[in-house]
Chains A and B, each alone.
Chain A
């Protein structure tokens, strides 16, 4: 059997030092296969966001090991982790986090800019990413001219424009009404199914989690249980 894409072993994370120190993760073990669609759930303070930050190479664990494509992430320095994010990871945030006064197209082009892609190729790839999220006709609009759902779709286009292995979504529907939320979830499902992108999503809404293939429940800094999602949401 092939090695999993992501393997967390005994991950701990402590914030602060001395008596005020807070242990957010107490030994998380998690293996994620390529092509997975994982929803991470749990109460606030359960360690799900900290885990996502570590999975996204935005933060480093205090202890344990994190293997991503066979690379020991905890041993990488700041720049090496940036290269890893640039090459293999895409991010979608709750607050969209698009650059203001910057058109949708320019926002989507941004990761390619840091990759040093040529201008023409950048445009081409950004347009096709916008097409995939159904916003190619909105390319010249700035975030303030777009609805929340549209903004999140631009953010998803920005995340997938580099054709990443993994898409990390932190509460992607947190700022959206239920109808837009379902649209976004369908889009994530489609990207997972058609492009084979591994999707890792943090959510506290069970209806959204049910779009995933697997649901991981966190509690008190540990993985409480892992369940296979009910497929009923597919037909809903």
Chain B
């Protein structure tokens, strides 16, 4: 009986193909909009996550500063080499601790030049950022303690200054300093905020002395070891730094610890909320679509009053008539939902490609949207269906 009813309903929909299509348009647009919005939102989310993870997952970046104290008498003191040593020795769960002293300078070789970021650091930097070498080697202890002019260059620098040549062992001029290339980094995709490809890395002491002119450490990168919670490491790091910077209990931190994992979570949270918000707006059109279906079904009941009378007279039960109209409404909304899902697939794929976002097929939102469209059929189809079933066969037969 249910199968027969379904066939009858599909036949009825086919007989009024244009009207059926116009009726389901609301559902089609609603379902397509919800799915497309969520899929694109997921794409944005994934893309942002990708950029963030290029900063190095589970990495804490420590800067002097601290929000509220700003505008006070003295600027917050910067870090020293001793801070780096103390962190390495006293904070557990740390994989690498790399001090950073930064500047920028014009790199020149023969007729080629390129504006490079100059970063003074230690070998820990390669570990913290998970940088891989295309050739050459790291700094030696002697080079670091003497502050020699040796450097490891990123892929963009290599390509611009050395073209096809092997740079290892070659020299070029960086600002006023002539430095020797001892290593070349592999090209890194998803460069993120601090692009290692266009960076020249030198020993910390070299940069402090020859480029910056002071003993300050501008920032400290702390890589959290596997199996440790970044938040726990952040906490003990905060304790240590407060102690070393002589802050009493009431004073605010005069440094910032930037947690990439935390930042990623915040961004993820925000993009998800935005996605949800846009999807909620799109869902309104689903509701409107449902009301459209109810209107058409009510018109259909009036229009087909005689037919209902005939069916009742030849022995259809009230519930069978109810089922017929209900199935018709559900079939309509499900068809709309199905078309919407297909439409959303192409729309979100096209838009994602256009906006250069990663496209992922989100099964759960597709299933959910489809289920909601079916639910709309049940909810908005029930009232007209019940009205049809309650008709008196004699009156229905007399209806003109």
- A contacts, CB < 8 Å to B: 53, 56, 58-59, 78-79, 82-83, 85-87, 89-91, 93, 97-101, 110-111, 113-116, 158
Separation in Å of the A54 CB from the closest CB of chain B? 10
Measured between alpha carbons, how far is A115 from B315 in the docked complex, in Å?
8
Contacts of B4 in A (CB 8 A): 113
Separation in Å of the A166 CB from the closest CB of chain B? 13
Contacts of B317 in A (CB 8 A): 79, 82-83, 114
Which of A82, A83, A98, A116 contacts B312, CB < 8 Å? A82
Contacts of B363 in A (CB 8 A): none
Some 20 contacts from A to B, beta carbons below 8 A apart, are A53-B394, A58-B393, A78-B318, A82-B316, A82-B317, A82-B318, A83-B317, A85-B313, A85-B314, A85-B315, A90-B314, A91-B313, A91-B314, A97-B306, A97-B313, A98-B310, A110-B310, A113-B4, A114-B311, A114-B315
Contacts of A82 in B (CB 8 A): 312, 315-318
Measured between alpha carbons, how far is A87 from B397 in the docked complex, in Å?
20
A97-B306, A97-B397 are contacts. A87–B315 as well, Cβ < 8 Å?
yes
Assess whether A59 is in contact with B315, with CB atoms less than 8 Å apart. no
Measured between alpha carbons, how far is A116 from B320 in the docked complex, in Å?
12
14 further A-B contacts with Cβ under 8 Å, apart from A78-B318, A86-B314, A158-B314, are A56-B313, A83-B317, A85-B315, A86-B315, A86-B316, A97-B309, A99-B310, A101-B15, A110-B314, A111-B314, A114-B311, A114-B314, A114-B317, A115-B315
Contacts of B313 in A (CB 8 A): 56, 58, 85, 91, 97
Measured between alpha carbons, how far is A87 from B320 in the docked complex, in Å?
16
Residue of B nearest to A90 (CB): B314
Measured between alpha carbons, how far is A101 from B320 in the docked complex, in Å?
21
The reply to whether the CB of B307 lies closer than 8 angstroms to some CB of chain A is yes
Separation in Å of the B9 CB from the closest CB of chain A? 13
- B contacts, CB < 8 Å to A: 1, 4, 15, 306-307, 309-320, 393-394, 397
Measured between alpha carbons, how far is A143 from B328 in the docked complex, in Å?
23
Separation in Å of the B118 CB from the closest CB of chain A? 82
Assess whether A97 is in contact with B318, with CB atoms less than 8 Å apart. no
Contacts of B397 in A (CB 8 A): 93, 97
Contacts of B306 in A (CB 8 A): 97
Residue of B1, B309, B315 with most chain A CB atoms under a 10 A cut-off? B315
Contacts of A110 in B (CB 8 A): 310-311, 314
Residue of A79, A85, A93, A114 with most chain B CB atoms under a 10 A cut-off? A114
Contacts of B394 in A (CB 8 A): 53, 58-59
Measured between alpha carbons, how far is A135 from B368 in the docked complex, in Å?
51
Contacts of B307 in A (CB 8 A): 99-100
Measured between alpha carbons, how far is A91 from B311 in the docked complex, in Å?
11
Assess whether A97 is in contact with B310, with CB atoms less than 8 Å apart. yes
Separation in Å of the A155 CB from the closest CB of chain B? 10
Contacts of A59 in B (CB 8 A): 394
